[in-house]
Every structure is written in C-alpha cells, then in structure tokens.
A = this chain, B = another copy of it.
Amino acid sequence: MRIGWIGTGVMGRSLAGHLLTAGHTLTVYNRSKEKAEVLLQRGAVWGETPASVAENSETVFTMVGLPSDVEEVYLGSVGIFSTAQPGTVAVDMTTSSPALAQRLSLEGTKRGLRLLDAPVTGGDVGAKNATLSIMVGGDSDTFEQMKPLFEKLGKTILLHGPAGAGQHAKMVNQILITGIMLSLCEGLMYARRAGLNLESVLQSVSGGAATSWALQNLMPRILKGDLEPGFYVEHFIKDMGIITAEAERMNLALPGTALVKQLYQAVLACGGAKKGTQALILALEALNGGGELKS
C-alpha cells in the first residue's frame, strides 16, 4: 500500500519503520528533515509538505506534537486536506483534543476522506517493540480496514466509538496518571520526613494494594535523582489542558486532575518543562521548603 507518514519523532520513527518492514511504500514528512533520515535510508521517499505526502498516499498517518500542529498538518495551506483524494484514509496518532478530532472528521467527510483518531499508550519502548495500546475513534468500516496496519504497530487495538472517542480514551489514561504521580511524590516526601530508608519502603509497598506501574518504574528513578524523560512534563501539561477543556465542556468537576495540573504548573516554574513526569517531586519539594532531592 502507498502510505504517508507525517511526524517522525521518537515514536513516529519507530512506527513508520514497522510499516517499511512490512513492505509498504512510504512517503514521509517531518518539520526537521534529519529526524526522518533513518527512514529515508531504508527506502522511504521524502515529501516536501503534508500536502505532497497526501497527494502520493492512499493512507496517511500523522503523529505530531500539539493540537495546533495537528490543525496545521490537516487544515493548513499545504496541509493534508489541500490535496488528499476522496477515499483517502487519514489516521491521527497524536495525543490531541477530542473536539479537534471531531472537527477534522466532519471537515474530512465533506471532502470524501475518512478519518480516524488513534492515540497510543506504551511509550517509546512500546513503539519500538510494536506492543502499544492503540485507542481508536471513527467509523467501524474504516477501523476494520485499517486494523491490519494497526496490528503492525501495536498489540491492544480497540475501537472506542465515533470520531474523538480514541482521544477520549487516551484522556482517561492520562487522568489515571495524574493521581498516581501525585500520591507517589507525596508518599516519598512523607517517607523522607519520617526518616525512613526509601529503598526499603519501596520494597515493602511494591507488592500490595498501593502498587502501580509508576511506583515500580518511576519511583526508582526519583530515588536516584533521575528526572530525565520518559514522558515530558510539557506534554503531560498539554494533555491535562485538553482534559480540563473537555471536562468543562461536559460540565464535569475533576478536583484531583485540577490540583495536579496546578502542581505541574509549579514544576514549570521550577524549570522542569523538559524533565520527565516524575519531576512533580520538584513541586512537592518547593511546597515544603525545597531542594531535598539535591541534598
């Protein structure tokens, strides 16, 4: 199949690579061309704009940064919609706004295109090993048609409903993470103040009702003073912004998510935008007299 891939960051690069491996013809575009180099060396063709990628593809995947980037890539003057032929399938794998996914689907349908939103969870390791969970929104015929391609990219592949539903499911995932990160950092602050050995406490609490992926994977990093991403604070704040906007639209109060968003704003104030989500500890430290992590 002639496939287009727009957005060759860490995740996108791995995923597009799986499609090359599967024998598909790939046209790729990325804002900075050097991040597509490894794909070009493997035989992918460079497209100068999203429009030229769409012109040469039956199916276009997008995986970019912010909702505003998604908007530009689809609706911009050299965007996908400016050239895509009727019948083209466009799949947005960016974690983006459900409302935008609905709007793009409406606009695309008017042009005879078929759109899916299909954000993922599972991180760079999941992308590399094709073990991602892919959460899809859109019509079921298009979903079934794309399923063989999704199966090259991930393991758990579910249609969650009409346009936007994939994004909504991803937001549930992000909401779950908010509280886990908060209590992880509060637990750590308490343990330090109480003078406990942190490795021992981690061992005691890891097997029981308090355990989580984050406890097992991110707590050890914090204990080593490692705040590198993983998943960027600035991206997580973007997601919490989307959640907040959607919840407001749905008339839904989420006090925990609101609190955690505020505390991540404080992480930004501490210079933590490019740190990993475990940098929430910086906000808890700032709130409690500061800087124990470095001591």
Interface residues, chain A, with chain B CB atoms under 8 Å away: 98, 121-123, 126, 133, 135, 155-156, 158, 160-161, 165, 168-169, 171-184, 186-191, 193-197, 200-201, 203-205, 207-215, 217, 231, 243, 246-247, 250-257, 259-260, 263, 287-288
Q: Are B175 and A190 in contact (CB under 8 A)?
A: yes
A268 to B238, CA, bound (A): 35
A174 to B190, CA, bound (A): 11
A123 to B46, CA, bound (A): 58
Residues of chain B within 8 A (CB-CB) of A172 are 187-188, 190-191, 194, 196, 201, 205
Specify which of B175, B184, B209, B257 is in contact with A231 (CB 8 Å cutoff): B209
Residues of chain B within 8 A (CB-CB) of A158 are 200, 203-204
A259 to B262, CA, bound (A): 14
Q: Are B133 and A193 in contact (CB under 8 A)?
A: no
Pairs across A and B, CB under 8 Å, 28 listed: A121-B205, A133-B208, A156-B203, A156-B204, A161-B197, A169-B200, A169-B204, A171-B194, A172-B188, A172-B190, A173-B210, A176-B205, A176-B210, A176-B211, A177-B183, A179-B180, A179-B182, A179-B184, A179-B186, A186-B255, A186-B257, A189-B254, A190-B246, A193-B247, A194-B250, A252-B288, A255-B263, A255-B287
Which 10 pairs from chain A and chain B are nearest by CB?
A: A179-B183, A179-B179, A212-B212, A176-B210, A121-B208, A168-B194, A182-B256, A175-B187, A179-B182, A193-B250
